[in-house]
Amino acid sequence: MCKIIPPPNISPPRRYRQAPPGTMAGFFEAASHFDTSEGGVGPNPLRKLIEAGADIDRADRDGMTLLHYACREGHLLAVQLLLEAGVALEKQDRDARTPLHLACYMAGREGMSRGREHIDVSIYLQHHGASTAAQDAFGHTPL
């Protein structure tokens, strides 16, 4: 006869907690969690980074910058703030994707990102000179 072993004491899943300010995760959250919904940080952390003269073109280990995160998550105001602050528009991540690639890819994918302004972000980037011909590592262009 088998002995029934109770499952380990597993705590319930925790709600999302923001990364401490000044950490790398906190740095990129300024753009990816720009919204004010649950778990969002709002616009102030990104504004503070820009005002403090932070390296807004700094990339994470995947090559993604603040602009990549803002575009992937569909945060138009974050994109506008970053471009006005002089962020590099065509920087590529490790898969050679530009911020425009991510905005276009996420457009129409409801529920997969925090924001919903991917099409507006794509248009805004193009009006500011983003290349629609740039190919990623797989030969895909943004449009």
Cα(22)–Cα(27) distance, integer angstroms: 6
* Average pLDDT value for the chain: 85
State the DSSP string of 63-132: S--HHHHHHHHT-HHHHHHHHHTT--SS---TT---HHHHHHHHTT-TTSSS-S-HHHHHHHHHHTT--S
**In the predicted structure, residue 23 carries a pLDDT above the cut 70:** no
The pLDDT score that the predictor gives to residue 81 is: 96
pTM: 0.81
User: 82: exposed, middle or buried (C-beta count within 10 Å: 0-12, 13-18, 19+)?
Assistant: buried
The pLDDT score that the predictor gives to residue 14 is: 39
